[in-house]
Every structure is written in C-alpha cells, then in structure tokens.
Structure 1
C-alpha cells in the first residue's frame, strides 16, 4: 500500500517532507529468489519516499547516489550518505527514508549460501571496486562461472567502514521528549536548564540520563543529531550557510567546527571525498512512481 504523507512527524525519524510517499510493503527484486548468492539493482524514487518498518528473509546492502537514506533500526538512526552503504541482516526490522531523486541501490544476499555475514547493522565502505562488482552482478546475462567469480571478490572486499555513524536514541521516558523535539526541529536551542524547567526534573538528571542512555552528553548528542540532518541537507544541494541557519547555528564557522568534530573533516572535504569515489552506472533500474 502506498499513501502520501501530510507532513506529520514519524517516531524516531525526521519530520516528513510534504509529498512524501509511505510504502507499507517492500517488493524484493524479481530475481531475489533465483539461485544466486547476490541479487543487485537500483531504483529512483521520484518523490521523498519512506518505507514503513519491515524485514527481509535475505541480508540487504543499501546505498545511495545523489541523496541520502535515513534508516531507523530499533533505537538507532543511521544516515547513509555518498560513499557509504548500510548492511541490514536478514530478519532485522527496519524502516527507511530516501530523498527524492536519489539513486537507491540495493543488493540482497542469500543467508544460506554466504561464507560470512555481519550479525548487526553496519556502515559499509562503498569503494569503487565494490560498487563495480555489484553493478556487474546486476546483469542478467552472466553465466554461473562468471557470477561465482564476481561474488567471491565481493566477499573479499566487503568490509565495515572505519566510521560507524549511528545516532543512539535515548529510549528513556525522562528525556524522550527532548529527543523527539530535536528530531522534529534540530534547530531547537533550548538549554539544559530550560528543558529541566519544562520537564520538572533537574539538569543533572538530564545529563546523567543522556550519558547512561546514549554514552554521550546532551550537547554532544544534539551535535551528532544536527550533523545527521546536515548530511541530508548538504546532499540535496543546500549551501553550508543555509544548512547552518536551518540547524540553529549563529554562524557557518560554528557549524563547520561542529561537523569537523563529529565527522573528522569539513562539510566540503567530506562531500568532495564522497564525490571522488565515482558514480558507477547500473544497468538494472526500477523507477518508482507515487
């Protein structure tokens, strides 16, 4: 079932853009049940698209070009940007959202025919070699020997990314209202003291709760959340100045410094490195209509 969104917020993810299509069922590629270890392809959502929580009988690797994918897995939010992919083990319930026009790539792996598999969601380094191999495996004219050789190399180069960038949600009733408010509006600049007054608890309680639930302070968590959101905005072509304003920074230099602290590079350097990884055309395409 497909229905358009009216712009409401969805739990644990960003506020939906107007015109977002929510898909309640997820169709696997036609060849996903064929006797292949790996089945790959891609689709291009014409509008912002959200997939409701679901799971697959196969392991899944997703990555995007020309946009971002945000995925909610239990109490974690993953943002998949250029140069990275997300490994989703078979049977793990997850939801996702892709920006309009993003090239949404996916590859499904048969669990019973793999030499190894990651047991939990992982950010994957989408190197040019790995993308080229998965593009090659999307072809329908490969003979069994050629496919087996390509699949073997995929398993040789499939590796977790050095940076596992996931936002841990608190799942603590004392501070969940803070997390939801910031997910809805990352520019919310209310201080610890202001939140404590609103929630009727002490600022020390909020500080301890964030440390216990997420492993970082309230200020660090908000900074990470804003960088997650920045990745989506930057991939959509917004200038650094605009992104810094949208996220509540007083000046672009403050946003750039925060981005560097979280990601290890400036926004420009990060996006430049992603662009330099190459954009490999894929012969199998599914263009999704609303």
Structure 2
C-alpha cells in the first residue's frame, strides 16, 4: 500500500473477531513510505489486482483513506464496527483510525489517500461513500503519471465537490462486551452456526435473559437481528464473488433459499437477484 502505515497488534477494544481465512491468504503487515515525489500531495490514488486473497492486519494511516473495489467486496473492521463495501460504494477511514480489512482474489482494489491538513471535505467517522462514475473517473485520472500541478488541482477540486456519503450506511456493531465476545467470534468465522440463544447461554454459563440484554446493550440489536445482519454482510461478499443464491443460502445456514431471500429483501430493500443485476456505478 502507498502511504505511511503504522501496524498495530490486534486489540479487543479496537479490532474484534477473526476472519474466515483461506489457506492462500496473503497477510499484509508491513509499512511503505509515501513516494517522496508526492510529499506535498492532497490526493494520492492507486490501484492493484491481487491474485490471492488479501488481509490487512490492524494498522492506521496519518492520512484519510478511501477504499473501493470492482468485481468484489471489501470488508473492513474499524473500531467496534464491521463494514461491507460493495461495488458502487467506498469506505472513508479518517486519519489515525485503526482498521483492518480483507479482499478476495482477483478483485480490482482501489484506494486514495487524502492529506489530512489539506482536505477541505472530511468525515469524522468511518463513512460509506457513494462512488459515482464521475468520482471514480476523477480518482482514476489522478493515478495518471505526469499530471501537471494545475491539472491535479483542477481534478482534486471536483473530487471534493462530488464526495458524498452513500444513502445506505451498511455497518454492523461488533459486541464490545467480553461476556458475549465468544459468540461473535464464532459467528464471524462461521455465520452458518445455528445455535439458539438458549444453547449459547448454556455454553457460556449465563441466563438467556442476561445474554439477551447484553447483546442488545452492546450492539443495539437482539441476538437474532444481529446474526441476521451478519449473515447479510457475508451474503454481499459471496454474491459479489459470483456465487448463486442457492449456494449463498446454504453457506449461511438457511434451511431454504426463500428464507434467505426474504431476509435479504427486508434488510437491503431488494432481493439478492435484483441486487446482483442492478449493481450501481460499475465501470468494469
């Protein structure tokens, strides 16, 4: 990655949970200094296609970062929240905020760094951004070598004009309560785990009432609602990877595809088929 990164050890307060890691996953933990020729940059954009699954260990940047992709989904952890960023959207990560991420193989990955002291438009919290065709084209233009200072300044000015939050901020709060963290750890790794609240309460030596209250207090959702939302986050990634509805439904633990479709529609506003057919703002 371009730009200075500071690696951080995983912290239960900053990055919780584990990834379902494929054996070929490349874990990126190093740091790379920003090129000296861009020492006075305002926006520094880059793109890459990795041929194996990628995982970024918890780290932070001295600059704001915007990440997006084509042909897949970026999943990120920022603080006690998980973001699933589908095609047509990006994720703004404020400077200095610890985050981790993952990307499947053969996905076209893009990111742009915004100098914190020279960015007139910035968001104080992680924010899902609407990646309109114009915004994507401008950021791709900024990757071009040999841009004059005047041309770069003109493009950057328009970027700031069109940079805006997406209408849907798809985020999931991760439990910050150590009593229920083991449940989240298991479900993040295997969202198809179908154990009931009662079974989890027995395994954790807690009452069902205590476990239920802890989940709602920590995440804002009931246990069932949280698990459903988590499954939809995973579903977005699987659908963007090209898996069909029946396969996604089975991998997420639904007994019938119709149940998965109904849940997806309730949370996303469209069926999985419509979501795949109408992905916005794809330039590929």
Report if TM-score (shorter chain) is over 0.5.
yes
* Unaligned residue ranges in structure 1 (runs of 5+): 1-9, 281-290
Q: 8 Å contact 1:26–1:51 — kept in the other structure? A: no
Change (3 A) 1:228 1:248: same
1:288 equivalent in structure 2: none
1:78 equivalent in structure 2: 83
Cα distance per residue 1:131-150 (max 9 Å; x no partner): 01111111122222221111
1:182 equivalent in structure 2: 187
2:12 equivalent in structure 1: none
2:151 equivalent to 1:146:
yes
Q: 8 Å contact 1:22–1:50 — kept in the other structure? A: yes
Structure 2 Cα separation of the partners of residues 247 and 169 of structure 1: 18
Change (3 A) 1:32 1:67: farther
* TM-score between the two structures when normalised by the length of structure 2: 0.91
Cα distance per residue 1:32-88 (max 9 Å; x no partner): 843221111101111001111111111110001111111111211111111110101
* TM-score between the two structures when normalised by the length of structure 1: 0.89
98, 115, 125: which one pairs with 2:103? 98
Change (3 A) 1:232 1:40: same
Change (3 A) 1:245 1:68: same
2:273 equivalent to 1:278:
no
Structure 2 Cα separation of the partners of residues 250 and 32 of structure 1: 56
- TM-superposed CA distance for 1:14, in Å, is 2.6
157, 166, 172: which one pairs with 2:162? 157
SS at match of 1:189: coil
* Unaligned residue ranges in structure 2 (runs of 5+): 1-14
2:220 equivalent to 1:212:
no
Structure 1 Cα separation of the partners of residues 85 and 133 of structure 2: 16
Change (3 A) 1:113 1:11: closer
Kindly tell me the number of residue pairs found equivalent between the two proteins: 270
Structure 1 stretches of 4+ with a deviation exceeding 4 A read: none
The Cα RMSD (Å) is: 1.6
Q: 8 Å contact 1:26–1:54 — kept in the other structure? A: no
